[in-house]
């Protein structure tokens, strides 16, 4: 089995990611996060928010809707241009993006295809209940558009002045032709986006700044930073309004793959929305009185893609001294679903269970903790290793005598005894 298959199997086995609607045979490109996965994903989003919003005085957040006025997607160019090319295998009739076929059909090996046809990725729906008053609308194809729509509201309702930024984490929908590689290319996914509004003269400075900042973010998150690199878009692939763009790529088992884009959007977005809506989106500098359309540096990444790449980065199968092996997720402890697991050594000794419960309750004020009293301690370690729990805390007979517990480290498997009062510090 290759790494992606192993990680996919682990996700299903341990409640990290499940295929959506599985009892109906599944639906391509849609996934659910299970009990372990939802904790990890929430931690990941919090990690981003802390890095991008909480620690900066000039970044504020919003939470915009998935359905907007349909004109938004005309102004943005998505109704006309948000497409991919699709070719169809003449033998098995599967459809692919031309860049995914490499001369022969990935499904059946046949070498003849239809000529490429373009295909719009926007999902559409209808708003309104009365048949002839229904309005065609779209599920947002990228989260950032709601940021542009709220730009003026944020300027008018907060103390922010340019340069400042609006951040958002939210769902986006794309009717991808070839969803696959677990959540790497899905049809419903989440993006973390930041749009930094600046004076046109300051674009280069902030473009360079955010490019480095975003790389630093990913380096702080992954275990193997050597698997990250920049890829600069060549001129012919740049959006027509963009002066420069870089992808941050991760070295996935199938090759370097985009994790996030840093885009020089210039004044394109606010100019388009001014034109299509009629609203004046110029900004007046309060100090100089200068009026201008703010320029934008965008950082736009995929939460689900980062999540998947984190799993690939963290997954290890290790040989143990006794000849067996363990699967372990050596994931950043800020992202792990649980900071620690509490093991009462035995289930039938009330003093031990009560002591363990007390520790669980106290630690839960600060961390997400999981309780595990099933099976022997070795089995419990194996299970927690697979979901990446950094620490396992065992309450045993000695605890009743001297108020100490055993803490076992996920990565080194070393164990040491710690006073109950010192646990919180020890697992920090």
Residues that bind ligand ATP (CB under 6 A): 142, 174, 176, 185-186, 189, 191, 258-261, 300-302, 304-305
Q: Could you tell me the smallest distance in angstroms from the CB atom of residue 314 to ligand ATP?
A: 18
Give the residue ranges of DSSP H helices in 50-143. Answer: 71-75, 78-81
Query: Tokens 């990913």 map to which residue?
Result: 218
Output the smallest distance, CB 68 to ligand ATP, in A.
17
CB closer to ligand ATP, 298 vs 385 = 298
**Nearer to ligand ATP among residue 260 and residue 269 (C-beta):** 260
Whichever of 262 and 363 has its CB closer to ligand ATP, that residue is 262
- Characterise 77 by phi-psi region: left (phi > 0), alpha (psi -120 to 50), beta (else): left
Dist CA 223 CA 150 (whole Å): 36
Q: Which residue is nearest to ligand ATP (CB)?
A: 302
CB 200, min distance to ligand ATP, A = 23
- In whole angstroms, the minimum distance from the beta carbon of 56 to ligand ATP comes to 21
Give the nearest distance from C-beta 186 to ligand ATP in angstroms: 4
- CB closer to ligand ATP, 4 vs 359: 4
Helix axes 303-314, 35-49, angle to 10 degrees: 110
Integer CA distances (angstroms), 399 to 247, 390, 418, in order? 52, 21, 10
Q: What SS3 state is found at 210?
A: helix
d(Cα 298, Cα 166) in Å, to the nearest integer? 10
CB of 100 to ligand ATP, least distance (A): 11
Choice between 183 and 332, CB closer to ligand ATP = 183
**Shortest Cβ 225–ligand ATP spacing (Å):** 18
- Residue 137 has φ and ψ, to the nearest 5°, of -135, 170
- Residues 6 or more apart whose Cβ sits within 8 Å of residue 158: 60
- Name residue 127's beta-bridge partners: 135
Backbone dihedral angles phi then psi of residue 67, each to the nearest 5 degrees: -105, 130
Instruction: Report the SS3 class of residue 38.
Output: helix
**φ, ψ for residue 17 (rounded to 5)?**
-135, 135
183/176 Cα distance (integer angstroms)? 12
Residue number with CB closer to ligand ATP (303 or 329): 303
67 in Cβ contact with 137 (< 8 Å): yes
142 or 385: CB nearest ligand ATP: 142
Report the residue number, 189 or 222, with the smaller CB distance to ligand ATP: 189
Burial pattern 215-250, b for ≥16 Cβ within 10 A else e, equals bebbeebbeeeebbeeeebeeeeeeeebebbbbbbb
Question: What is the C-alpha separation between 388 and 339, in angstroms, rounded?
Answer: 9
Nearer to ligand ATP among residue 171 and residue 199 (C-beta): 171
Cis previous bond, 269, omega within 30: no
CB of 152 to ligand ATP, least distance (A): 24
Whose Cβ is closer to ligand ATP: residue 194's or residue 392's? 194
| CA–CA gap between residue 131 and residue 134 (Å, rounded) | 6
DSSP string, 118-184: EEE---EEEE-SSGGG-EEEEB-SSTHHHHHHHHHHHHHHSS--SSEEEEEEEEEE---SS-BTTTT
- Residue partners of 301: CB distance under 8 A and separation at least 6: 191, 192, 193, 214, 248, 259, 260, 261
CB 9, min distance to ligand ATP, A:
20
Q: Which is nearer to ligand ATP, 186 or 195 (CB)?
A: 186
């Amino acid at each position: 089995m290759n790494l992606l298959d192993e990680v996919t199997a682990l996700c299903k086995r341990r409640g990290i990611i499940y295929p959506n609607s599985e009892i109906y045979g599944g639906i391509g490109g849609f996934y659910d996060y299970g009990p372990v996965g939802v904790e990890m994903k929430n931690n990941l989003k919090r990690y981003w928010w802390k890095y991008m919003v909480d620690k900066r005085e000039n970044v504020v957040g919003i939470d915009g809707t998935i359905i907007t006025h349909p004109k938004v997607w005309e102004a943005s160019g998505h109704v006309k241009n948000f497409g991919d090319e699709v070719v169809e295998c003449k033998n098995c009739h599967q459809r692919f993006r031309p860049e995914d076929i490499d001369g022969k059909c990935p499904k059946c090996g046949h070498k003849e295809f239809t000529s490429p046809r373009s295909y719009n990725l926007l999902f559409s729906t209808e708003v309104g209940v009365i048949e002839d008053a229904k309005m065609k609308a779209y599920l947002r194809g990228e989260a950032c558009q709601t940021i542009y729509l709220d730009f003026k509201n944020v300027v008018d309702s907060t103390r922010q002045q340019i340069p400042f930024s609006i951040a958002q984490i939210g769902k986006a929908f794309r009717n991808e032709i070839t969803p696959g590689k677990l959540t790497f290319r899905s049809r419903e996914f989440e993006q973390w986006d930041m749009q930094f509004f600046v004076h046109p003269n300051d674009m280069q400075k902030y473009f360079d700044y955010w490019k480095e900042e975003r790389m630093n973010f990913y380096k702080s998150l992954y275990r193997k930073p050597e698997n990250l690199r920049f890829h600069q878009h060549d001129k012919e692939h740049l959006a027509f309004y963009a002066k420069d763009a870089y992808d941050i790529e991760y070295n996935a088992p199938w090759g370097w793959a985009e994790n996030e884009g840093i885009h020089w959007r210039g004044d394109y977005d606010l100019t388009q929305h001014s034109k299509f809506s009629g609203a004046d989106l110029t900004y007046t500098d309060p100090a100089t009185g200068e009026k201008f359309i703010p320029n934008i540096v965008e950082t736009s990444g995929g939460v689900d893609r980062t999540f998947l790449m984190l799993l690939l980065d963290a997954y290890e199968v290790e040989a143990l001294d006794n000849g067996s092996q363990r699967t372990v997720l050596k994931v950043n402890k800020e992202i792990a679903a649980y900071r620690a697991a509490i093991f009462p050594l035995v289930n039938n000794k009330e003093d031990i269970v009560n002591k363990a419960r007390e520790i669980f309750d106290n630690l839960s004020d600060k961390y997400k903790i999981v309780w595990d009293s099933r099976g022997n301690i070795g089995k419990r370690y194996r299970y927690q290793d697979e979901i990446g729990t950094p620490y396992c805390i065992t309450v045993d007979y000695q605890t009743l005598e001297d108020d100490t517990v055993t803490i076992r480290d996920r990565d080194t498997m070393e164990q040491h005894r710690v006073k109950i009062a010192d646990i919180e510090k020890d697992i920090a």
